Structure 1
Amino acid sequence: MLILRKYIALVGLVMSFVLILTPMLKVPLKGNWNLYQTDVLLCSITYALIGGLVLLYFIRSLAAFRIMSFVYGGWFVLALVAVYFKINNYFGFALVDGLLARTITLRWGWIVFGLSALLLIVSTKRVREV
Structure 2
Amino acid sequence: HEGDTVTFELAPNFDVPLNKIELFHEENPITHEPYVHMTKDYKTNSITVQIEDIKMPDHGLYTAVVQGQSVPLAELIVEPRPLVIQNMDLPKDVFYTDERLELECEFPQVPKGEQPQWFKNNQPLQSTSNV
TM-score range (shorter-chain normalised) is: under 0.3
More strand by share: 2
Q: Which has the higher contact order (CA 8 A, sep 6+)?
A: 1
Higher helix share: 1
